[in-house]
Structures are given as structure tokens and as C-alpha cells.
Structure 1
Amino acid sequence: AGDKEYKAPSNKEEEALTEVWKEVLGAKQLSVDSNFFSLGGDSIKAIQVASKLKKFGYKLDVKDLFQQLTIENIAPLLKQDQLKAEQGPVEGEVFLTPIQHSFFQEQLAEPQYYTQGAVLFLKNRFNHQLLENTLAKLTEQHDVLRMRFEKEGEKVKQINTGLQGKHFTLDIAEIDSLDTKQQIKQSAEEVQRNLDLEKGPLLKAILFKAPEGDHLLLVIHHLVIDGVSWRILMEDFMMFYQSAMQNQSVALLPKTTSYKEWADQLLNYANSDDLLKEIDFWKKLETNGVFKLPKDNTSAENLYKHSKDISLKLSKEETADLLKNTNHAYNTEVNDLLLTALGLAVKEWSGTGKVLINLEGHGREDLFNNLDITRTVGWFTSLYPVLLEASSEDLSLCIKTTKEMLRKIPNKGIGYGILKHITSADLKQGLQLNQKPEISFNYLGQFDDQEKSDFEITPLTLSETVSPENKRSCSIDINGMVIGGELTMEFSYSSEEYREQTISSLVNAYKIHLQNIINHCINKEETEITPSDLSYSDIALDDLENIFG
């Protein structure tokens, strides 16, 4: 891709797209015929592109970006952004979304202690009053941060409160010891254990004043936030705080569709013909006999206090290859390759070529033309079962099979949770929706946008944000993200079920398969197309192989 001739933008749409791609993808110069994935794009970066185009007055459907892939092909499809979301405070009852239903059905021992968090380090110290103002601004701009959850018998009611009162806490702690990390960890545990879902607030902050600078701990209950939301929140936090430091009034970006409106629309969609068409797909998945994972011990308890983690890291060079130099081989996205490696690793580790996993997605799918949730904070995650097959010895075929399987999933799996938790029972007869995959997989994307900032942001890990007494939802929980240009994959497991060496062998197998896949793809000169690349995608992969033989 590096030796292609540079092609400059030729109209205002292409200029807007070029500026946004440079910002989101961190590219210094890019040609209007450059491929989005070859520049390191992924589904989360696609949402960020759509979000940032709004300041130029354009609306982009994310699916158009995925289909067209280059600025010159996407530009003609940009529309004028005429969507006007409610700009005032949103209040009142909010229907629970599928992932929130799923959370309450787990009946955790300590439901309040299930959060997401981050630590912001600032060497030059925070101004306490400006920090107060910034947090207040965030809870005003992002309505979901003012949510409360009231129990009514067996039911839970979600209420969006108004602006009255204060919707966060900010405490200050002096640290004089050397063990800053340990002190932050202890305070984080305490603050999380004392969260109150019914009374709130669900956003808590502690400012630790240490000899080396200030550490700001931010903890938010997971019911109202997810990985994409953190990016939005941190962007706004920096914008609010830095503008206040420079005595500038900050022009807030207009609000996008509220979480309340999204929940309303999901409720209508749940019984629609559009969604009910998916039932046959999910029924078929339920007919697959799935091999159970081998265990070292059978345990009645699978709690977070038994969790142990083993991580693997790719080098910066390998990560850059994965993100930018593999896509051309089979028109793949990063997840296609990460999941191919998982299927192969599980096969080597357990002897089975088929494994059912729970796949987490960002859940912000383009279901409704009249909504825009690109800058909406909330818990949107979709969770759905996926059958990985690694039956072939042919690596090329394994990659293409995984890619095609993922492309066939309707609307990236968002329908599964809606059918399970919201659709009327009489409309989904014969559908069990009760599969329990033993592996969960979530690729959270790239967190590499800190070069432009004075703040160093460190996300809290899973073990730091969930009560030790809460039960784990599966046997092996895999989370991947790119930080500082390096891919880290964390395998979390229960020490009651597995010995360390058992999971270690799975992690090592995963790393070797992923490295082999990266090398295979970067050394492939010609692009091999698969059925989903064609407008007539009903053709089977085997038939296409025979045609191009």
C-alpha cells in the first residue's frame, strides 16, 4: 500500500472525510483511495468517524463505510445531518435494554460492585474547582450518568433523574507512601462496594494527591457505560477541563439520541417482522451439538475471587502488521483473524474443531434511520453465541470460514439479546435462547489516542472492578485491546476449574496461531474474495472455491 500514488481530496465531502480519518486513524497523510482497514480501522473507529463527521454537518451510515472502504467511494454517500436529538435534560422511566436485563438475571451477590473505571494521571496537578465543574458538566451532557435503578418486587425500574442535586461524588486523598497503586486499589474497592443503585450517584471520583502528581480515579457502574462510552466521556472530560483551564467557554457537541429513546425503539423493534426474520438463523445455531471444554476440576462455584489471569502481548511490529497489513489477503477485519486463532488454539488444546463462544460486540448497530447513537453514553453491548469451526488443516480455509460465518450473523448479533429478553414469548416459540458457551470473547479495539493529551489514562482491569463474591458468567473470559501500539489478550479463568499450566498452554497456542495467521496474510500478494464480498452473497464458500479453483 505504501507505494501507491497519492490522490488528494477533490471536493468538500472528501476533505471532511480526510480530516476525520487523519484524526481517528492517526494517519499523517492519506490518499482518498486508501483502504480503511489497511490504515488500522475497525468497527469502533468506524463509529468514531461517523461521530466526528457530524461537526462538518454530515451523516454517515457505518455500513456504507464497511462496504465502500475508501474516501472517494464513501464521499458520494454522505448525507446532510438533519437529525435533531433532544438537547435538554432527559428524564423519566427508561426501559431496560437486553444487556441490562441480562445483568439483573444473573442475580449477583453484590450487583452494585460491577463497574468500569479508569485512573487519569496528571503531573501538573488538577484544579479542584475546575474538576468539580467538569464532572458536573459531564453528568449534565450525558443523561445516563443520572440513572437510578429501583426494585419493585422481582422487577427493576430504570429512572433517568433530572438535573436537580449532585450526580457524582468527588473526594480527595493525600498519598505520602510509595505504594500509590495499592492505596488506589483499596479505595477503589471501598467506593465500589458502597455504590447504591437505587439512590445513586453511579459516578464516583477520588483525587489522589501523590508526590509524583495527581491520580484521578473514576468509577462508573457498568449498567450505564461501556468501552465506546469511555472514549466519548474521556474526550469530553479533556475538552471541558482543558477549556476551563484556558478560561475558554466550551461549545459542547450537540447531544445525539438519548439512551431512553434507543430503549423505546428497541421495544418496538422487538416484535417487528424485521427482527422475527432472524429466528430461523438462531434456531439453526441451537441444533449444533457442541463439545464441552475439558476441565481440570469440576467446581460448583465459579466466582471472581477464584479468577486468575494470563496475558499475552504482541510486539508493536506484529500489532501494526495485524491492524494494517493483513486485511488485503481476504478482506478481513481484525476480529476475523483473532477468532480464527481462537478456533485453532481451542482445537489444538482440546481436540475439538467446533467451539461455541459468547461474542461481545459494541451493539451500536444502524437499526433505525431516525436515530444517531454515535456519541451517546450508555451500556449498548451485544452478547450472542457464535460457533467457531476450525475443522480444516488449511489455514486459508479456516480464515475464510470464520469470516463468512461472522458475516452471516444478522445485524452483528444484536437481535439475539432482543429476542431473548424483550420479544413476546408467543412470537418466538421453538426458540430456546438458553445456550451457555464456556468461553467469552471481547476485542475492545485501540486505546492509543493519548499522544495529544496531558493526561495518562489507565483503564482498571476486570478483577479491579467486580466484586470477588460475584459469579463469573463463563469458564474462560478473553479480553483483547491495543494499548501503546501493542495488542494484549487477557485470558481470565477460574482456579477452581483450571490449573495455571492448562490455561498457559491454551494462551501459548493462541499466540503461535495468531502469529502464523499474521505471517500468512502479510505474505499473500493477491486478494482472495469470499461470498460476502460479492453482492450475490448466497453462494456457498465451497462453490466459490470451485469457480475460482
Structure 2
Amino acid sequence: MPGVSPDDSFFDLGGDSIMSIQVVSRARTGGLLVSARDVFRERTPALLARAATAAVTTTEDLDAGTGAFAPTPIMRWLEQYEATDGFNQSMTVRVPAGLDEQALVRAAQALIDHHDVLRLRHHPDGTYEVRERGTVPVTVRRVGPGDGEAAETARRELSPATGDVSRFVWFDAGSDAPGTLLIVLHHLVVDAVSWRILLPDLAAAYEAVAAGRAPELAPVATSYRTWAGHLRAADRQAELPVWQEIAATAEPLLGTRRLDPAVDTAATAREIELTLEPDVTEALLTRIPASVNGTITDALLCGLATAVVEGRGAGPVLVDLEGHGREHVADGVDTSRTVGWFTSLYPVRLAPDGRTPTDRLKQVKEQLRAFPDNGVGYGILRHLRGEPGLAVEPQIGFNYLGRYTDGDDTGDWQTVDGPTPAPRSPEMPMTHAVEITAVTENHEGCPHLVATWTWASGLLAESEVRRLARAWFDALTALADERPDVGGLTPSDLSDDLTQSEIDSLEAELGDW
């Protein structure tokens, strides 16, 4: 990036936790070994250079990713719900005019053979199995550009019990116009980071096949199956009191009643989408986190908790927070090229009661720093260990998917709008009263925060949700309107045992130190 100095912070420049995985992957490609934890801790190119070591090309045996394995915490979480066959993520990409159908089939097959988890099957005894390479044929359906049923058909055909976890639908616009390719994957096998691996791999595989070459995709260092084993072996017992305290939190109702999985299904869900102004988004990506040595997630959750308290009244706000989950759980693990559902889902308790927006941001930042490794231990303790006192069901779910920088790129194999299936089967229960999924997209060269609000219509009226969503954006705007020199360190930035008031007093006394 032009103009970036060795001492500029990755997060101050708009980086986020998901993009940190891409940094790790590209560094490895360039022969350097750093971890996502290094990116978060060191932040600047100068400090990362000191932490980096020469990458030693080590990959598992090809068979390490195949065979049976016990579920991960997020898989175990999903098992508590009914009607999850259609639970999916999907992406649509533009494909070249005159696409070679056989080349597409071979490229998609190469993707399934290379990324083990795309050959997943869920057995009745609760275990999962990754089948051998070459045993799972790809399903590619060719339809016309106006076929409005193809996307939903692809979703309905998903069934982990039979091993049907992927569908590819080619919307053929003819030999003279680019078509689109819809990829539908069961959520058990994919997450936001995985798409950033899969889509370039699919493009590379197609280009190789079309040129008469065999696809040669970059190796995967650690398989999903191996990762699952590391999670089960991880010792997170020391965190138990932290999570038990969070789970014991009493929280006022957000809607008219508690969520009822028998009544509040996806069929009753309603959805709105709001977009934040680019100048506020830019501040959220750069200046606001930089002012407190934080991240965009700190700012987003600070604004959300502020809005909830203003609308509902005083009291702690519980949020089920989704993280990318690719945390350091064992030495020698590298998941920067691994496809799968790594998500960590954990409850956070937010209580922003500071006098100014920045005061509240500092409080939320510190409340989030109380959870080691971005909450990965909660799922291990609750869903794998079965520890007592951890069951809690926050009313709000939140997921920030990071920043997509190719919004203005409409070339082949880039993501585009197109027909997509519903993310869930109509019968699947809602998992939260309100779910917020946010992503930063580039439009006309400017970043825009796009937030999708999904809620159970039996609990909340649309007017209530819109009011809360608007209050959230207002709280984010208030953060952006703070003076540029407002900010400062917080206790987690320092090794000394100082309180926030003591740090503020020192900063006032010492000035710009």
C-alpha cells in the first residue's frame, strides 16, 4: 500500500480480524511465518518483522484430513436445533462468456477433492466423517439466467446425513455474455474466511483446466479434522469462572417474551438492511479504533450496546458474538488455508455507562479483552466438556464479517449479485430474537458498512427494530463526531496494574507522550 510506513498499525489502516488471516496466508506464501495473534499483538510492519520467522513448508499427510472425527463446539451448538439441513452460506460469482461446462465441472471437482471438509458426512451416532478423495462427485446444474427456483432447489438438496453439502448452479447467459455461478454450501463446511480461500482456488482451478493443465492448488497445512482434535485436547479450565459469571447475568427482555424455538422459526423471521454513510464507516475502520488502540469490533459493539441501553433502559447487554475462531489453540497449527466452519460463538456482557462516546468505547474494549483468545474457550467448556453453569441464551446475535475490498471489481470470478437461497430452511428455529450481520463493502471507491437485521416477528415489531438500528447508527456517528485528539490507552494496553482513571490522569499530566 502506498504511503504506509513501517510503524503504521494494521488496524488503524482498516484491518480486521478476518483480514489478519489473509495477512498470515500471504506472509506464508512469501516465505514468512506469522500468526493471527502476532498481527493482533504487534500490529505494525516493523514489529511484525521482528516476530516473523522463516516459514518451513510443513503440511500434513494427505490422509490426515480424512476419516471420522468428533464434532467441534460450533457443530455441537448446531445439533441442538431441528431442521438444519438447509442451513447454508452461498456466494455468486461472474463467470466468463462461453464458459466450458466440462472445465467447470473438473474445476469444482478439484475444489472438493482438495478441501477435505467439502466431503463431509454427519452420521447418526453424532460423529462426522470426511470421505476419501475421489469418492464424492460434484453436482453442477446448468440453468437459464431467469431460473428463479434453482437457488432454492440447491438449498433443499443439502443434507449432511447423506453427505450432500455442496451444490453449484451455473446460470448460463449464452456464449456472448458472462454468466453467473451460484455456490451453495452447508454451513457445517464453510465460514467467512473459507470463502476467501475457495473462490480464488476455484478460479485458479478453472483457468488451469481451460488451459489444458491439471489444477495445482496451494497445500493446506492443517486439516479441519486435525483442528477438531486440537480443540478437544485444549485445556481451558482456568476460564470457567469468567464464563460462569457471564452466564449468570440477568438481562431485561428485548421483546414481548423469550424466544420459543417451536414458534419462532425462520418462516417467521423478518429482515431489513441499512447502510452507514461512508465518512462514518471510514472513521470506524481507521480513526476511531486507533484513538483507543482498539478494533472496529470494539466500536461496533459499543454503539450497539449504547443503543440497546437507550431504548430498553439501564442494565447489562448480553450479545452472542461470532468470531472467526481460528485462534491459537496448539503450537504448529496453521489454518490460514483451511476450509471449514471455525466460528467461535460466545456470550459477552457489555455495560457502557461512560460520560462520553469515547469513555464508553474504552469500557467496551476492556470488557471484550476479558476473554482470552477471543472467546474460543467458551464453546470448548460448554459444548465439549459439558461444564455446569454455562448455559445462557443472549437475545442478540452479532457477526462482523470484515471488509470486502472488491465491491467495484466486476471481472470474472468476482462476487456479484444474483439469485441466492434463504440461509435457513423455513422450519429451522431462530437462534436469537435479533441477529445483526455487518460487513464493510466498497462502492464507488468508498467503504460502506452494510448491516442486515433479522428478527423474530412474534417478539418485535418492525418499527422497534428500525428504531434500534437507527439508534445504533446514531451512536456510531457520535463516536465519529468526537474530536480527533480524543482517545487514549486503557488498562489492557499496559503491563502495570493501573485503573482507567489513573491512566487518564497520567495522560492529562504528561500530554502527548
User: Under a length normalisation based on structure 1, what TM-score does the superposition of the two structures give?
Assistant: 0.86
Indicate yes or no: 2:251 matched with 1:290: yes
CA distance in 2 between partners of 1:338 and 1:72 (Å): 28
Q: 1:315 to 1:461 in 2, by over 3 A?
A: farther
| Aligned residue number for residue 366 of structure 2 | 404
| Aligned residue number for residue 255 of structure 1 | 220
Cα distance per residue 1:104-150 (max 9 Å; x no partner): 122x1x22111111111235242211111111111121011011111
CA distance in 2 between partners of 1:138 and 1:205 (Å): 12
CA distance in 2 between partners of 1:504 and 1:462 (Å): 24
Using the TM superposition, name which of 388-397 and 458-467 deviates more: 458-467
| Aligned residue number for residue 392 of structure 2 | 435
Give 1:103's aligned amino acid. Answer: L
Give yes or no for contact 2:231–2:329 (8 Å, CA) kept in 1: no
Q: 2:16 aligns with which of 32, 42, 45?
A: 42
Kindly state the Cα deviation for residue 452 of structure 1 after the two structures are TM-superposed. Answer: 8.5
Q: 1:505 aligns with which of 463, 467, 470?
A: 467
SS for the counterpart of 1:311 is: strand
Cα distance per residue 1:507-538 (max 9 Å; x no partner): 11111111111222xx32265111111133x4
CA distance in 2 between partners of 1:452 and 1:63 (Å): 33
Kindly state the Cα deviation for residue 188 of structure 1 after the two structures are TM-superposed. Answer: 1.7
Q: 1:103 aligns with which of 78, 98, 111?
A: 78
| Aligned residue number for residue 189 of structure 2 | 224
Give 2:111's aligned amino acid. Answer: L
- C-alpha RMSD of the superposition: 2.2
Indicate yes or no: 2:103 matched with 1:130: yes
Kindly state the Cα deviation for residue 454 of structure 1 after the two structures are TM-superposed. Answer: 2.1
Give yes or no for contact 1:353–1:391 (8 Å, CA) kept in 2: no
| Aligned residue number for residue 60 of structure 1 | 34
CA distance in 1 between partners of 2:248 and 2:328 (Å): 29
Q: 2:488 aligns with which of 528, 532, 535?
A: 528
| Aligned residue number for residue 540 of structure 1 | 499
| Aligned residue number for residue 159 of structure 1 | 129
Q: 1:455 to 1:28 in 2, by over 3 A?
A: farther
Kindly state the Cα deviation for residue 462 of structure 1 after the two structures are TM-superposed. Answer: 9.4
CA distance in 1 between partners of 2:419 and 2:379 (Å): 25
Give yes or no for contact 2:21–2:336 (8 Å, CA) kept in 1: yes
| Aligned residue number for residue 10 of structure 1 | none
CA distance in 2 between partners of 1:297 and 1:544 (Å): 41
Using the TM superposition, name which of 51-60 and 333-342 deviates more: 51-60
Q: Give identity over the alignment, percent.
A: 30
Kindly state the Cα deviation for residue 338 of structure 1 after the two structures are TM-superposed. Answer: 0.3
| Aligned residue number for residue 205 of structure 2 | 240
Give yes or no for contact 1:296–1:498 (8 Å, CA) kept in 2: no
CA distance in 2 between partners of 1:312 and 1:87 (Å): 46
CA distance in 2 between partners of 1:284 and 1:83 (Å): 43
| Aligned residue number for residue 87 of structure 2 | 114
Cα distance per residue 1:55-99 (max 9 Å; x no partner): 122110222222222111110111122362225243210210000
| Aligned residue number for residue 193 of structure 1 | 156
Cα distance per residue 1:279-307 (max 9 Å; x no partner): 12112223433222243898761111111
Kindly state the Cα deviation for residue 473 of structure 1 after the two structures are TM-superposed. Answer: 0.6
Cα distance per residue 1:469-515 (max 9 Å; x no partner): 11001100000001223110111111211111111111111111111
CA distance in 2 between partners of 1:297 and 1:31 (Å): 51
CA distance in 2 between partners of 1:345 and 1:507 (Å): 8
CA distance in 2 between partners of 1:99 and 1:351 (Å): 32
Indicate yes or no: 2:265 matched with 1:303: yes
CA distance in 1 between partners of 2:359 and 2:453 (Å): 26
CA distance in 1 between partners of 2:181 and 2:410 (Å): 19
SS for the counterpart of 1:159 is: strand
SS for the counterpart of 1:493 is: strand
Kindly state the Cα deviation for residue 249 of structure 1 after the two structures are TM-superposed. Answer: 5.5
SS for the counterpart of 2:294 is: coil
Indicate yes or no: 2:222 matched with 1:265: no
Q: 1:472 aligns with which of 411, 423, 430?
A: 430
Give yes or no for contact 2:274–2:452 (8 Å, CA) kept in 1: yes
CA distance in 1 between partners of 2:280 and 2:98 (Å): 36
Q: 1:34 to 1:316 in 2, by over 3 A?
A: same
SS for the counterpart of 1:464 is: coil
| Aligned residue number for residue 511 of structure 2 | none
Q: 1:143 aligns with which of 116, 140, 151?
A: 116
SS for the counterpart of 1:172 is: strand
CA distance in 2 between partners of 1:98 and 1:120 (Å): 31
| Aligned residue number for residue 7 of structure 1 | none
Indicate yes or no: 2:451 matched with 1:489: yes
Give yes or no for contact 1:359–1:441 (8 Å, CA) kept in 2: yes
Indicate yes or no: 2:239 matched with 1:278: yes
Q: 2:298 aligns with which of 336, 348, 352?
A: 336
Kindly state the Cα deviation for residue 215 of structure 1 after the two structures are TM-superposed. Answer: 1.8
Kindly state the Cα deviation for residue 197 of structure 1 after the two structures are TM-superposed. Answer: 1.6
SS for the counterpart of 1:339 is: helix
CA distance in 2 between partners of 1:404 and 1:65 (Å): 19
User: Under a length normalisation based on structure 2, what TM-score does the superposition of the two structures give?
Assistant: 0.92
Give 1:84's aligned amino acid. Answer: T
| Aligned residue number for residue 392 of structure 1 | 354
SS for the counterpart of 1:198 is: helix
